[in-house]
Every structure is written in C-alpha cells, then in structure tokens.
Copies of this chain bind each other. A is one copy, B any other.
Amino acid sequence: MAGVCCITPPQDERGYSLKGVKRSPVVPKVAFTATISNTLSGLNNLGQPLVFDDVHLNIGNGYNKQSGLFLAPVSGLYLILMTISTDYSTGPDVVVVRNGSRLCATIPSMNDHLYAGSPCNVIVQLMQGDEVWAKVYSRFATDRIRDGMWSTFSVALLSMDGSTSS
C-alpha cells in the first residue's frame, strides 16, 4: 500500500521548511514523574484531581503536588503516561483530562480480589497554560489505588511550538 506518500525531509538543520509538517525549534526540557506515597482507598472525590504526592522529577516546575495539576509551561506536543494499579480490590476508572476534557482512561478491573495495572497513555497538543490532571471517573465500594511505584503519572514535552523564522 506504500507509494507516493511522503514529505520531503529538511535540507539542513537551521530551518528549511517541511511540506505539510511544522518543524520545531530546540526543545526545552519539561517533564515530571509523580507517584502515590500511600495506597488510596475510600475514593469519593469524583471530579477532583487525583493527587500524585510523591514527586520524582519536575523539570520546568509544571507539576503541582498540592493540587495534582500539571500546567503546561510552553505550547507543544506532549507525551502523557499514567498507570493505575489496584490493590487486592476492584479498581476505579481513572481518566486524564485537559482543561476538564477526557484524553484517555484506565479500566483496571471490576473483579473483586484482583490485582491489575491499567494504562492511560496519549500524545497531545497542549497550549501554554493548559491544565492536565487525573481524576476518578467511576468507583466501586472497595476501590483502592496502589502505592509504591505501582501507580505512576508522567508527562514530557516532545517538541515545542514556535517561530520557524531564523
């Protein structure tokens, strides 16, 4: 099925434009990784940000461990990776949202007494100031979210929007 498909690669490193592809300037480092310091249960804060309170990385200070919000410091293409693991219990559905709109969703398990990990991974375009956070979408009586690196939330900037003139 291949054929006459493809764009012309750039001529050099300083900015000849690509047909149909916006090129990126040098990418600043923006990234965070946070986990949960104690297993969560009794999750009745539907709609409120789920706080990953143990911060392992926060380059660019986009992530706020008090609020659980990531605020995009620059506009660009971002990678979002979240894993939610249950802890001998049913697991809640946890979603990641951008300014309140769902980007991806986990579905760890609806069976009791089952451990399981479930991913919410997505590549998104964020504008400077956009907010990204996780929240519980639906829950069951015995919901638990496991600590100890079994539940993780990471975001990284892949490429930044910007002027292509030099």
Of all chain B residues, the one with the shortest Cβ separation from A158 is B156
Q: Give the copy number.
A: 3
Complex CA distance for A12 and B131, rounded to whole angstroms: 26
The answer to whether A57 touches B125, judged by C-beta atoms less than 8 angstroms apart, is yes
Q: Which residues of B contact A13 (CB under 8 A)?
A: 14-15, 25-26, 166
Min CB gap A114→B, angstroms:
6
Residues of B within 8 A of A3 (CB): 129
Contact call A159/B27, Cβ cutoff below 8 A: yes
Question: Beta-carbon contacts of A114-128 to B below 8 Å, as 1s and 0s?
Answer: 111111111111001
Bin the interface of chain A by size: 35 or more
Residues from chain B with Cβ under 8 Å of A18 in the complex: 28, 74
Whole-angstrom CA separation of A114 from B166 in the bound complex: 55
The answer to whether A106 touches B117 (Cβ under 8 A) is: yes
Q: Which residues of B contact A148 (CB under 8 A)?
A: 102, 105
Q: Is there contact, CB below 8 Å, between A102 and B149? A: yes
CB pair B123–A57 under 8 Å, yes or no, is yes
Contact status B71-A9, CB under 8 Å:
no
Within the complex, which residue of B20, B30, B156 is in contact with A21, where a contact is CB–CB below 8 Å?
A: B30
**8 Å CB contacts to B: which residues of A52-91?**
56-57, 59-61, 67, 69, 71-75, 77, 79, 81, 83, 85-86, 88
